[in-house]
Structure 1
């Protein structure tokens, strides 16, 4: 993810992954996204990414939402937020590294479930991301291209 700073309130972010559609995003720093919005957040580190890496994902669960997972065979787990399917967790990454499943239960205050529709998205379905704390969120993201 490349970042271009546009003053105090905005970033231009270039998406280099296939986990979300779009290449260029405007991030409004400090604007708190809502359920269903795209958000930029700082990763705490792990899963092959350094702490502070900027991720773009959709907010799929908010504080008080219920996250459940169901074994779907061969080490795969299907994740649901308030009964809505949000993704399938794989047992290993594309490079063969083991992946630990993400949390289940009620999302705690000031935390969010981040998701993307792509099957290889690295998001809250994995423990290395888990629930994202509000203080990790940089701002609301808007797809430009």
Structure 2
């Protein structure tokens, strides 16, 4: 006896009979509408939480910026090298309270000899153009008193801003590594 394809029970019919006989409710698409967005929300929450453990997004919106850029990502706990950007906590000075988070360019690290000029800061062969006059005039400091060679102490960083009027290590000295929040990366 030969069987035609129509004589065979369909696979769907077998599954439906199994569900009916065993009181199993099929999972409809309405459940997927709940589970897929829920899984996406949980995944995105985990990714955001993981990002904030190691990174910080910083928007610099004030008009008295000291380096170019508006948006930075800071990798927490990473000590910067010369030529990199870093977020640091300020120490108390005559015009700034302690603990203010600032982003500056690292012009020198421990042991480096940094030469401060009227228009630039030089470390070995790296030249950072950073005019000094505007900030010195505002702070009523003599430019000649701020220029010269500076040896960066152990566990310290010589930080500068490249815009005119920047208040930085040329005025308040080196930043110790305990004050470093992390290495900063320019986004915009």
Task: Give the structure-1-normalised TM-score.
Answer: 0.75
Any residues of structure 2 matched to 1:6-45 within 5 Å, and which?
A: 7-15=52-60, 16=62, 17-45=64-92
The number of residue pairs the alignment matches comes to: 131
For the residue of structure 2 that corresponds to 1:28, the secondary structure is: strand
Could you report, residue by residue, the CA deviation over 1:49-91 in whole angstroms, capped at 9, with x for unpaired residues?
Answer: 2210011011111112112345x5xxxx864333654434333
Cα distance in 1 between the residues matched to 2:177 and 2:52: 22
2:127 counterpart of 1:80? no
Which structure's CA Rg is the greater one?
Answer: 2
Cα distance in 2 between the residues matched to 1:124 and 1:102: 12
Unaligned runs of 5+ in 1: none
Cα distance in 2 between the residues matched to 1:107 and 1:23: 29
Note the C-alpha offset of 1:105: 2.9
Task: Give the structure-2-normalised TM-score.
Answer: 0.60
Unaligned runs of 5+ in 2: 1-48
Note the C-alpha offset of 1:133: 0.7
Q: Which has the higher contact order (CA 8 A, sep 6+)?
A: 1
Could you say which structure has the higher helix fraction?
A: 2
2:97 counterpart of 1:50? yes
2:187 counterpart of 1:144? yes
| Cα-Cα RMSD | 2.6
For the residue of structure 2 that corresponds to 1:109, the secondary structure is: coil
